[in-house]
Amino acid sequence: MLRFLARRSLGAIVILLLISAITFFLFFALPAEPARLACGKSCDPTSLAIINKNLGLDEPVPVQYAKFMAGIVAGRDFAVGHCDAPCFGYSFVSQEPVWGTIVDRFPTTLSLALGGAAVFLVCGIGIGMVAAWRRGTWIDKLFSSLSLLGASLQIYFVGVLCLAWFVSGLGIMDQPAYYPFTDNPAKWFSGMLLPWLVLSLIFMANYSRMTRSQMVEQLQEDHVRTARAKGLSGRTVFFRYAWRGAIAPIVTIFGIDLGSLFGGAMVTEYTFTLHGIGRLAVESVQLTDLPMLMGVMLVSAAAIVMFNILVDAAYAVIDPRVRLA
Amino acid sequence: MTTDATPAFLSVRDLHVRFATEDGTVKAVDGLSFDLERGRTLGIVGESGSGKSVTNLTVLGLHDPRTTTVTGEIHLDGQELTRAPERTLERLRGNTMAMIFQDPLTALSPYYTVGRQIAEPYRKHTGASKRDARLRAVEMLEKVGIPNPRLRVDDYPHQFSGGMRQRAMIAMALVCDPDLLIADEPTTALDVTVQAQILDLLKDLQQEFGSAIILITHDLGVVANTADDLLVMYAGRAVERGTVREVLRAPRHPYTWGLLSSMPRLSSAVDEPLSPIPGTPPSLLAPPPGCPFHPRCGYTAEVGGERCRGERPTLPDGRGAACHLGTERTRTLFTEQIKPRLG
């Protein structure tokens, strides 16, 4: 297990390096000059050159990249003073340290993703289990049709409808907002509840359908029949033998979905006017804010890569035939 | 075969098993009766789809009640099983009656240790503690000849070889000293050398536990060495029965002749082709009228084809065959035509 984690962490670093390089060099292909934006309307070549020098944009791109990456590991000295590692530099736009902004925004996205995931995992798998247990009955058919409906919905559509109905109209739910969990767990919960439910509605369908089909498949397996031949009760066979075999593919899909929760965070955050990493990413592209964009990209990518490693490790725990090494 | 008042230990009477499929009703077992006493081994042979596995899954009540209709009676030690509630069957399964499946790779759960899978039914049926059940699992592994059982008890099935998995499977089936053991092609998935070991093991364990064994196979060689009695099945029906000696020495059904002739033997010349039974097993959606074997039978002319096509031959209790040729005619045919070919 340790060897596996070490190897995967090395792989993750390579991936993150690639992502950072691609982001950095693509940025300079953008038809925009960050210095000119900072310079304002009455801009002359002298002040433009000063700004370029202050932002470090006067150096060749590879040198800029190397300095940037070195800053993340070892910290970096700027005209305004020393920036401690992990240093992603200062925002071109707000002049604030990038790392501070990310630390500020990241909990929103994380709460959104993990809370939503918890809700849709529990509901989706639960519904799938009920459908598999009662397969062929009206409950099963009802759930199947509903999950097909759920899977075809989009956040920006359902989200806006729910906001209009439950928040503005009926007023039975709070306007989505982020309150730090450590300050007030109850407010954190009520502020996140609507986005979680909407996310769940959309993601849940996959899980209930997957759980149902996996369970039905597992129930046909020879080893499940053996368990019944041993005299184990239907419930034990269902929850211990069939379920154990059904988890692995669900975990795989969950790893992918966690990625898309981060990757697709901007849609959710814009829908519910939340200020997380996704919104930050869009804003930094619009404002050609290179350090901020780099910070957002690397932190989200690191989160996704880390979740994938965890999912693979979980795989080995679930299925003893999977050898990690 | 007992016909007196006390029924046999296992008594199957006029068993019919039907599956509802999209194409219609499959008559998987069509009026099957047989008896089995403790300490005896009954071999059931037949081609794939002859109903041998279905019969035994039905005895254990492992068929899918949603799609399967079962009529007839199954008595185990005096208790009727086809109408028994699921709770009763759960109490009997793994305890009084146990089953060994064909493919030990897929029949063991890959997710739990061998020891746990053996200990589980023991705990359930005897209420033993976790520790005692584990000791019992070690004891059973030792009994079926797994080396280092104390260590191997914590292995997962994929860490076992094929033969060891089948041994573990047998340990699992025997952990509660069942009175009835059903072995469904227990050696088909194994190497020839391992096959003999497993069959010997089954015989030894039967001596020790005195169980009744049903051995399902398509291999007459396996039956010859292991079983006491033999039931030949075709298209969901029993077509011939007797002791193994009787059936293999003087088979009375043309289908049994076919099975024997299609077996390769060491004495035959290298270039001598095998003689398979012509045709294919009938569709159980619409089995042929009369004798189900008549479309593939080479002897219908002997009795006049009409009778074979129109009238279903019955299988008498005890030694006999379900064939219109009759005992005398089959005996002559076998000694004159079939036996010389078998060599």
pLDDT in tens, B281-320: 888 888 888 888 988 888 888 887 788 888 889 898 889 8
Instruction: Kindly tell me if the per-residue pLDDT of A29 is higher than 80.
Output: no
Q: Name the amino acid, one letter, at A295.
A: G
pLDDT value at position B263? 79
Measured between CB atoms, which of A136, A231, A321 is closest to B124? A231
pLDDT value at position A1? 75
CA A135 – CA B250 distance, rounded (Å): 51
pLDDT-derived band at A77 (thresholds 50, 70, 90) equals confident
Decide if B103 and A222 are in contact by the 8 Å CB cutoff: yes
Instruction: Kindly tell me if the per-residue pLDDT of B97 is higher than 90.
Output: yes
Q: Are B253 and B81 a contacting pair, CB within 8 Å? A: no
Q: What is the pLDDT of residues A43-53, one digit of tens each?
A: 788 888 887 87
Nearest CA in chain B to A232: B90
**Rg value, chain B, Cα:** 21
Q: Are A222 and B87 a contacting pair, CB within 8 Å? A: no
Query: What value does the mean pLDDT take over residues A227-245?
Result: 90
Q: Are B157 and B109 a contacting pair, CB within 8 Å? A: yes
pLDDT value at position B5? 58
Decide if A223 and B106 are in contact by the 8 Å CB cutoff: yes
Sheet with B229-234, side-by-side order of all strands: B97-100, B180-184, B212-217, B41-45, B229-234, B237-243, B320-321
Average pLDDT along chain A: 85
pLDDT value at position B4? 53
CA B191 – CA B171 distance, rounded (Å): 19
Nearest CA in chain A to B159: A321
Give the sign of the dihedral formed by CA A159, CA A160, CA A161, CA A167.
positive
Mark out the alpha helices in A152-242 (DSSP H runs): 155-162, 185-219, 222-229, 234-236
Which regions of chain A does DSSP assign to beta strands (E)?
76-78, 81-83
Query: What value does the mean pLDDT take over residues B19-36?
Result: 90
Instruction: Give chain B positions within 8 Å (CB) of A230.
Output: 93-94, 98, 120-121, 124, 172
CA B199 – CA B187 distance, rounded (Å): 8
Instruction: Kindly tell me if the per-residue pLDDT of A167 is higher than 90.
Output: no
Give the sign of the dihedral formed by CA A41, CA A44, CA A47, CA A52.
positive
Q: Name the amino acid, one letter, at A127.
A: I
Decide if B106 and A222 are in contact by the 8 Å CB cutoff: yes
Instruction: Kindly tell me if the per-residue pLDDT of B2 is higher than 50.
Output: no
**Rg value, chain A, Cα:** 24
Cβ-Cβ contacts under 8 Å for B236 (sequence gap 6 or more)? B17, B27, B28, B29, B30, B32, B50, B51, B54, B284, B287, B292
CA B162 – CA B7 distance, rounded (Å): 39
Structure tokens at B127: 């209420």
Task: Give the N- to C-terminal CA distance of chain B in Å, as an integer.
Answer: 31
Cβ-Cβ contacts under 8 Å for B336 (sequence gap 6 or more)? none
Q: What is the pLDDT of residues B209-268, one digit of tens each?
A: 888 999 998 888 888 888 999 999 999 999 999 999 999 989 999 999 988 888 777 666
Average pLDDT along chain B: 88
Query: What value does the mean pLDDT take over residues A202-222?
Result: 89
**With an 8 Å Cβ cutoff, is A230 touching chain B?**
yes
**With an 8 Å Cβ cutoff, is A96 touching chain B?**
no
pLDDT value at position B114? 95
Which of A95-99, A225-229, B11-15 bottoms out in mean pLDDT, i.e. has the lowest?
A95-99
Decide if B110 and A241 are in contact by the 8 Å CB cutoff: no
Question: Which region holds residue B127: left if phi is over 0, alpha if psi is between -120 and 50, else beta?
Answer: left
**With an 8 Å Cβ cutoff, is A221 touching chain B?**
yes
Query: What value does the mean pLDDT take over residues A75-87?
Result: 79
Task: Give the predicted TM-score (pTM) of the model.
Answer: 0.80
* Residue A98 bridge partners (DSSP): none
CA distances from B226 to A66, B52, B196 (A): 77, 17, 10
Domain ranges (residues) in chain B = 107-177, 253-341
Nearest CA in chain A to B63: A225
pLDDT value at position B269? 65
Q: Are B133 and B119 a contacting pair, CB within 8 Å? A: yes
pLDDT-derived band at B118 (thresholds 50, 70, 90) equals very high
Decide if A223 and B107 are in contact by the 8 Å CB cutoff: yes
The helix/strand/coil state of B267 is coil
Q: Are A113 and A265 a contacting pair, CB within 8 Å? A: yes
Structure tokens at A61: 């791109």
What CA dihedral angle connects A248, A249, A251 and A252, to 10 degrees? 120
Q: Name the amino acid, one letter, at B18.
A: R
Decide if A321 and B93 are in contact by the 8 Å CB cutoff: no
pLDDT over 70, % of chain A: 98
CA A263 – CA A265 distance, rounded (Å): 6
Question: Which region holds residue A75: left if phi is over 0, alpha if psi is between -120 and 50, else beta?
Answer: left
Instruction: Kindly tell me if the per-residue pLDDT of B200 is higher than 50.
Output: yes
**With an 8 Å Cβ cutoff, is A251 touching chain B?**
no
The helix/strand/coil state of A202 is helix
pLDDT-derived band at B343 (thresholds 50, 70, 90) equals low
Q: Are A178 and A269 a contacting pair, CB within 8 Å? A: no
Q: What is the number of other CB atoms lying within 10 angstroms of the CB of residue B66?
A: 8
Measured between CB atoms, which of B91, B101, B110 is closest to A320? B110
- Interface predicted TM-score (ipTM) of this complex, two decimals: 0.86
Nearest CA in chain B to A315: B111
Nearest alpha-carbon partner for B156 in A319, A310, A203: A319
Decide if B172 and A221 are in contact by the 8 Å CB cutoff: no
Q: CA of B135, closest CA in chain A: separation in Å?
A: 18
Q: Are B237 and B292 a contacting pair, CB within 8 Å? A: yes
Measured between CB atoms, which of B98, B106, B172 is closest to A221? B106
Cis before residue B340, ω within 30 degrees of 0? no
Domains, chain A, ordered by start: 31-87 (no CATH), 99-322 (1.10.3720.10)
pLDDT value at position B243? 94
**With an 8 Å Cβ cutoff, is A187 touching chain B?**
no
pLDDT value at position B80? 92
Q: What is the number of other CB atoms lying within 10 angstroms of the CB of residue B201?
A: 19
Instruction: Give chain A positions within 8 Å (CB) of B60.
Output: 229
Structure tokens at B245: 């000696």
pLDDT value at position B231? 95
pLDDT value at position B267? 66
Which of A33-47, A111-125, A204-218 bottoms out in mean pLDDT, i.e. has the lowest?
A33-47
Instruction: Kindly tell me if the per-residue pLDDT of A303 is higher than 60.
Output: yes
Q: Are B259 and B245 a contacting pair, CB within 8 Å? A: no
Query: What value does the mean pLDDT take over residues B165-192?
Result: 88
pLDDT value at position A33? 73
CA A43 – CA A41 distance, rounded (Å): 6
pLDDT over 90, % of chain B: 45
Structure tokens at A7: 């190897």
Q: Are B230 and B247 a contacting pair, CB within 8 Å? A: yes
